[in-house]
Amino acid sequence: MQICPKKNSVMMTEPRSVLAGVDAVSGQHWYEIRAQAEERHTEIYLYDVIGGWGISAQQFLRDCKEAGVYQAATIDLHIHSPGGDVLQGFAIYNTLAGLSARITIYIDGMAASMASMIACLPGAQVHMPENAWLMIHKPLGGIAGTSDDMRTYADWLDRNEALMMGAYMKKTGLSGEELGAMMKEETWMNGAEAVEKGFADYLEPEMQAAACVNQNTLKDYHNMPEQLNTLFMPKAEGNVSPVTPPPAVPAPDAVTGSALTTPQDIQALAAQLQQQIITANTTRVTEINGVFEHFPAFAELKNECLADYACHAGQARERLLTALGENTQSAAGGAMGYVYAGNGNLVGDSIRASVMSRVGYAPDEKDNRYSGYTLRELARASLVDRGISIGGHSSPMAMVGLAFTHSSSDFGNILMDVAHKAVLTGWDEAGETFTKWTRKGTLTDFKTAHRIGLGVFPTLREVRPGAEYKYVTLSDRGEPIALATYGELFSIDRQTVINDDLSMLTRIPSAMGMAAHATVGDLVWAVLTGNPAMSDGKALFSAEHNNEVKAGLTIEGLDLARQTMLLQKSGKRRLNIRPAYLLTPVAMESRASQLIRSASVPGADANSGISNPVRDFVEIIAEARLDDASKTSFYLTATQGRDTLEVAYLDGIDTPYLEQQQGFTVDGAAFKVRIDAGVAPLDWRGLVKVTAPGK
């Protein structure tokens, strides 16, 4: 992928690990995502170049959605790739890193350059055969322009290198100095070396290569081991049976049915296909030059079309017509200041879509003119493309500041939308479990409210024929609940925009979203373990409430707790509340799973006729905050909807709220993350606490 900045003299390419070669059209790419028969299990095969003619981030995101990857519980990721486009790789990496599934990575043949970073997903286990290879190096790219352009591009490459190094450091624990030296030298590691350095976790026996990678694809690598020539060379027919790969994309007609038996055949085919590509591109360039022949003023647009390998003569003609229509007068005589004028907020929407795509929150739109723009370029476009003069604001700091503060610019609001998306993503990924068993409530203000529990309506009275219905008498007792506000500030300043630091738009807001959800979780578990007094003056868990049991984590103890909840009364009526969840400290999770999920009772393995009376009667929820209070106490709770604990939100808004401040006192934009929530116990009869004897 290539980018043409707003200068006629500059042509810049994205940093890449390889240049897409003949492999992309030779039928050797076996990229596939498929759901397995097992429940919520998916396999992903990254068997191709990343970006270019290989695996695009847009295609990957679309395939993930169609295959149910976002709902999967476990994922097997198989990698055999020489790397590719850095930004495309970042998008794939961020997508996989944001999944809640347990990911296991298998480096089947090679994970080079950007593919090696994808292999360093946080929390993933990496399996690597002895004869597989992993390579890390500095990102590479090219630019034509002024010395300032080249220095800017070098800084951009350094920032990409730093991001890649950060992923390597988290995976391996190696220092930045050691990794920097390895990346500078283009370091290749076999399976044993990768395990030793921490890039892989498990060393597997040698295996035959699952797919071949044409050597032309690897031509940009200067330090490649000689062993790779034999590992990735296609095998002759009649040799040992190859590992069955996923279904391959059919090869071009030119090679269909041919028997490739020697390396010379492969090299000849590669040369033939490469020549075909060169010829096709030459024809494309000639046709595009013909489109712009009589329009020398649009040399910049012509360069953009030439740099876009997917752009043919027809698309170039459409872009030229669009450019010719700009700044013309309508038939009514009114001047059109810009092509988007009077057409809604297409500038703002397009810029918003561009940023969302770069951070991985939305698919890339091929027809978006702002795709690939840096934050600095987008800030400029938010002004110029809306007819706002930037005269007197030539410096980057002044121009970006104007984008934040000008009344006609919505640049700050666009960044807020992206940050808000990141906040919500962090909220969803926080992993809090209290939402399963607590009741969600709504309060319209911050005054103390009172909730009525289960004991208000013990039973309905009989209405005899012809008799009147009577009004129920409500008790004065009600459990108090009130809201409180929790929040923090963070800022996106002009330096962030100029440095094109997308992490400030995603990582920090996402972390604050997680913190907001964790804050509400802290309130819930603090109420549960704090055993507060109810409105009747008695503790939530007490002998008077008949919801505190002295027993251990045994079959008998679980059954006693279950009976205690089922026998709770409201007046003279049994409430028949059945437990739905077992809340246990992490220290007791394994023991609880063994007891509840076993078919028989402990010690009766030899007698299959003895069944487990508490088998699967509740769902287990392990919570680390319970360990802080007691490692031996656990709780039974009723299903969601019964009166246990209530988590109330202001006006029912159960997600963080984001506010923005711009102006003279803020060098950019300041954002406030806020959540209004309150937690209180509703009724004790849907809860049982089990404490070990003597505790």
Tell me if residue 446 falls in helix, strand or coil: coil
**How many CB atoms neighbour CB 298 within 10 A?**
16
Backbone angles phi, psi at 189, to 5 degrees: -130, 130
**Residue 1: is it exposed, middle or buried by C-beta count within 10 angstroms (0-12/13-18/19+)?**
buried
Kindly write down the DSSP assignment for every residue of 543-584, as one continuous string.
TTTT-EEE--SSHHHHHHHHHHHHT-EETTEE--PPEEEEEE
**One-character DSSP codes across 364-412:** --TT-TTTT--HHHHHHHHHHTTT---TT--SHHHHHHHHHH-TT--HH
Q: How far lies 383's CA from each of 1, 409, 660, 664, in Å? A: 26, 6, 20, 19
> Are 438 and 645 in contact, with CB atoms under 8 Å apart?
yes
* φ/ψ bin of 679: left (φ > 0), alpha (ψ from -120 to 50), beta (otherwise): beta
Give the amino acid at 212.
C
User: Measuring CA to CA, which residue among 38, 45, 194 is closest to residue 129?
Assistant: 194
Backbone angles phi, psi at 602, to 5 degrees: -60, 140
CA 213 to chain centre: 29
- CA distances (Å), 243 to each of 207, 248, 260, 429, 630, in order? 9, 13, 17, 37, 52
What residue type is assigned to position 652 of the chain? G
| Distance, first Cα to last Cα, the chain | 66
**Helical ranges in 241-362 per DSSP H:** 263-291, 299-307, 313-325, 346-358
Six-digit token string for 216: 């032309």
DSSP bridge partners of 673: 488, 658
Residues with a catalytic annotation lie at 113, 137
